[in-house]
Amino acid sequence: FMQQTLSIIKPDATQRQLVGEILARLEQNGFRIVAIKMVQLNQEQAEGFYIEHREKPFFARLIEFMCSAPIVVAVLEKQNAVQDYRTLIGATDPKNAAEGTLRKEFAIDGRQNSLHGSDSIENAAREIAYFFADSEIF
Ligand code: CMP
């Protein structure tokens, strides 16, 4: 059934001028872009977004990284979007990502991994609402 998921093109990718190439790959794989914007997060915004990771040892470095440069946030729509997007981007660390996945192709390491994707339907709804008003989603 039709689903929406939140995609983020992370600072490592925006800084290497990979935005257009990544968006093209998403569209070529059947994802419809129904909302999109560029933002630079402040610490409070990044911590709120990643609240579920607040106890993790990598949390502080993750927040610093996510605030280090602008990101591109988008809502993607497709049948089975949440799982299909995660399959397309691949494992968190590009060393573990399958051939043909976007992280395998573009990511630098397990932190600077070019893309974020919602990990569940429930989190997708929360993450979409974190960045977009209903009126901004087409
Ligand atoms: P993502 O899975 O989208 O959301 C959590 C993020 O934390 C992850 O991408 C990475 O950017 C970062 N991350 C995950 N594991 C590590 C790690 N071991 N060290 C540093 N950053 C990490």
Question: ipTM strictly over 0.85?
Answer: yes
Q: Which amino acid is at 92?
A: T
The active-site residue out of 46, 49, 97, 116 is 116
Q: Determine phi and psi for 4, rounding to 5 degrees.
A: -120, 150
Instruction: Give distance in angstroms: CA of 109 to centre of ligand 1.
Output: 9
Instruction: Give distance in angstroms: CA of 93 to centre of ligand 1.
Output: 8
Query: Whose CA is closest to 35, among 92, 88, 81, 104?
Result: 81
Which domain does 132 fall in, by range?
Answer: 2-136
- Whichever domain contains 56, its CATH number is 3.30.70.141
pLDDT digit string, tens, across residues 26-52? 999 999 999 999 999 999 999 999 999
Name the domain count of the chain: 1
| CA–CA dist 8, 124 (Å, integer) | 12
